Amino acid sequence: MSIHTAPHAASQARSVPCPKARPTAAATLARCRDLVEPALRTAVRELHPGPRRIASHAFGWCEADGTPRAGGAGKGVRQAFVVLGAEAAGAPADVAVPGAVAIELIHTFSLMHDDIMDGDGRRRHRESAWKAFGTGPALLAGDALFALGVRTLAGVGGATGGEAIGHLTSMMGELVHGQADDELFGTRPWTGENAVGLGEYRAMAERKTGALLGCAAALGPVLAGAPPQCTDALARAGRQFGLAFQAVDDVLGIWGEPAVTGKPAHSDLRRAKKTLPVLGAMAQDPALGTRLDRLLGTDGTSDSACVRRAADLVERAGGRAYALREARARVAAGRDHLRAVPLAGPSVDELVALSELLLNRQL
């Protein structure tokens, strides 16, 4: 089969059973994107031209000046979880579309506002929204995406739509709570009673990252009208995969290649962030906190030599290995949730392939 047949195969996948050979994660992502993106573009066209331009830039559909641009931004893992969740519940992929659109809109809203809060000028190798368009317009565009996401899912209506909205609004509460914790952790000390503990960190990560992927995985079966145990299993699996994603993200935030991540070297340490590798290392070496405090402080103004030295200390104390072990354990736990209920096989295989992608991305 030549590569030129791939788009055809992808579009066929909506109406024919999934092939027996396990599809690659890339093929799954492409198939789900083909299904969801037209509806996402239709939804975004409803926006006021100002926020619409900013949203289109964030989705990778245009440059900041409005020039159309080939290729999207991001892998579209979240929308794929919604689609695969519906299929795993035995429904056609189409029923997942409003959920997938809502999840992509809410995810992009949260990135846009987080970048304002964190002062991050780069996102996916391009200028972040506030950097390209200004803080006020980016703030408003985020609000517009938030509102549009809820409205899109509200449009489903009926008991199914009500249940879906319930999942979405719970998730949004968690998302904001997690973000608030994350901001607060940055101001807390490296040592002493008020230092951030591993348990607190995990609770924060579950809210900030786990909840969104958990909701994405739950929306498919909810929209498919699946029984609660099916929805629960997928929601739990999604949360675990979200935590794996965050653990890998934390590793990349310290040791990721700047050319690949699009962020400065050791960027999380530069900002004195207490992420999983650091907290895991500190749990294994109680004296590490004092040394990191000396090297990094809490105001994110350390020089590159100090930051590099801190990264070495965290690695030598086993922080990197700790976070990667946790990521693998989360993926395994997520797969166990998927195996605990009867689900339509091929989509489960695709979910598993995606969870491998989460583990291996950019490392």
Footprint of its own copies on this chain (CB under 8 A)?
Answer: 46-51, 113, 116-118, 135-137, 139-140, 143-144, 146-148, 150-151, 154-155, 157-158, 161-162, 165-166, 169-170, 172-173, 175-177, 179-181, 183-184
Count of other CB atoms within 10 angstroms of residue 129: 27
Nearer to its own copies, 144 or 252 (CB): 144
Least CB distance from residue 115 to its own copies, whole Å? Answer: 11
Nearer to its own copies, 170 or 191 (CB): 170
Count of other CB atoms within 10 angstroms of residue 135: 12
What does the alpha-carbon distance between residue 243 and residue 237 come to, in Å, rounded to a whole number? 10
Torsions phi, psi of 149, nearest 5?
-60, -50
Least CB distance from residue 17 to its own copies, whole Å? Answer: 34
Least CB distance from residue 108 to its own copies, whole Å? Answer: 14
Nearer to its own copies, 179 or 267 (CB): 179
Give whole-number Cα distances, 331 to 15, 312, 335, 359, in Å. Answer: 30, 27, 6, 8
Nearer to its own copies, 46 or 336 (CB): 46
Structure tokens at 256: 């990721």
Least CB distance from residue 189 to its own copies, whole Å? Answer: 18
Least CB distance from residue 274 to its own copies, whole Å? Answer: 17
Nearer to its own copies, 108 or 347 (CB): 108
Nearer to its own copies, 183 or 356 (CB): 183
Least CB distance from residue 232 to its own copies, whole Å? Answer: 19
β-sheet bridge partners, residue 126: 123
Nearer to its own copies, 136 or 345 (CB): 136
Least CB distance from residue 48 to its own copies, whole Å? Answer: 4
